[in-house]
Amino acid sequence: MYGMKWSIFLFSLLIGLSVYSVLIFAKGDTGLSAMEQAESYKNLLSENLDEIREINRELTVDFDALSSDEELIKLKARALGYYEAADHLVHIVNWNPDANEYKPGFIVKRDYKINVDEKPFRILGLTGALSVMIAGLTLNLSGFRRNRI
């Protein structure tokens, strides 16, 4: 009689642990949903890194050009307000000379939730264990027993 109650108790604990483990595996801090969020964050960082590499490549080309091309140096100096004595200024209305400037990479923020509250998982696991234990004890007390040979 006591052996049967212990087996019901252990089986119900196993069911409760199984329910809790499945919930943690699916929705916990180290579960599948957290892994998907970390993967999307990794992809976002990778895209940002690619954009920054492209900006770096363009800046390197411009730096090399500014180091050697006199005409480009004059154009950039004029954009900064430096002119030669023979230059004539023409003002154009509604023209934005800085529209072609470089834009730095965007700021990447980790916006996914960490430290998932595990109380509901524990409650569901305990509820599963208690349900199985009550069902097992009820069946045991009602006379449902295995036929022993």
Rg (CA), the chain: 35
pLDDT (0 to 100) of residue 71: 84
Say which residues have a Cβ less than 8 Å from residue 129's Cβ, sequence separation at least 6: 12, 13, 15, 16, 17, 19
Q: What is the pLDDT along the chain (149 residues), one digit of tens a residue?
A: 566 677 777 788 888 888 888 888 888 877 888 888 888 888 988 988 998 999 899 889 888 888 888 888 888 887 787 888 887 777 777 776 665 565 666 666 666 566 777 788 888 888 888 888 888 777 776 765 555 44
Query: Model-level pTM?
Result: 0.48
Integer Cα distance of 12 and 3 in angstroms: 14
Cα torsion at 73, 79, 83, 87 (round to 10°)? 100
Q: In angstroms, how far is CA 145 from the centroid of its own chain?
A: 52
- DSSP annotation of 118: -
